[in-house]
Amino acid sequence: AQSVTQPDIHITVSEGASLELRCNYSYGATPYLFWYVQSPGQGLQLLLKYFSGDTLVQGIKGFEAEFKRSQSSFNLRKPSVHWSDAAEYFCAVGGITGGYQKVTFGIGTKLQVIP
């Protein structure tokens, strides 16, 4: 069974500081990995995705993530955080189960940005 672990439920960073959100996954084959962001009361917006190839993927809003197969990780990074980045971030792994696309989401990491 596929699963996702986001070990940090809540993170606080200062504006301008660097950010790394952790994500570990479990999946039997080559994983398809996603990071989504959710602002309060809104739906989820795709930040970036990894399917294959280059293990460092670039996304929107200046975010990037690195796939490390040996560590089963797909951590999200941003070199300099802006106040508008305050939101909840979800890591997800996609796979085929019973013939349909099943996406399993982590429980999310809530990011607070302080001045």
Q: What angle do CA 15, 6, 76 make, to 5 degrees?
A: 45
Alpha-carbon distance of 98 to 77, in angstroms, equals 33
Under a CB-based contact definition with an 8 Å cutoff, are residues 4 and 109 in contact?
Answer: no
Q: Which of 12, 18, 26, 42 binds other proteins (CB under 8 A)?
A: 42
Residue 112, interface with other proteins (CB under 8 A)?
no
- Candidate segments 14-22, 34-42, 63-71, 73-81, binder of other proteins by CB under 8 A: 34-42
Select 5 or 72, whichever has its Cβ closest to other proteins: 5
Nearest to 105 by CA among 50, 25, 39, 29: 25
Residue 86 as a binder of other proteins (CB under 8 A): the answer is: no
Residues that bind other proteins (CB under 8 A): 9, 32, 34, 36, 41-46, 49, 51, 90, 94-96, 98-103, 105-108
